[in-house]
Amino acid sequence: MFLDKNMFKVTGADNEDDHPRYHIAHMVSLLGPPPVDFLMRSVAGEPWKYFDARGNWTGAADLPHDSLELSEDRLEGENKAQFLSFVRNMVKWRPEDRATAQELMRDPWMNAS
């Protein structure tokens, strides 16, 4: 997002059919597990391929050792902390939990000099 990289990379997938499980595993490693109420919104039942009834990861792929802190390696100190806070306000499992564009425009990182 900041460095023109794919935020949720697919690594470890042997073929195209494996991509969803590795993609979701990387999302969980960066965002933490999704809230159960979010998983329950699915009408197709797809989340239950990857999560149990409590929202714990059960997917066949291992969760990568990654975090937003590890993935952002160009910023430092307060600038990095503010940027990661900005990203966390924007990237959430539940759409209603995400900051609005107006809120993001007022974010301290967007207004830092």
Three-state SS annotation for 60-87: CCCCCCCCHHHHCCCCCHHHHHHHHHHH
- 59, with CB counted inside 10 A (0-12, 13-18, 19+), is middle
pLDDT of residue 13: 55
Dihedral sign for Cα 39, 105, 88, 72, please. Answer: positive
d(CA 34, CA 57): 9
Structure-token pair, residue 50: 């990857």
- Encode pLDDT of 79-99 as tens digits: 999 999 999 999 999 999 999
- Encode pLDDT of 25-81 as tens digits: 889 999 999 999 999 998 887 888 899 999 999 987 888 888 888 888 888 999 999
The domain locations on the chain are 16-105
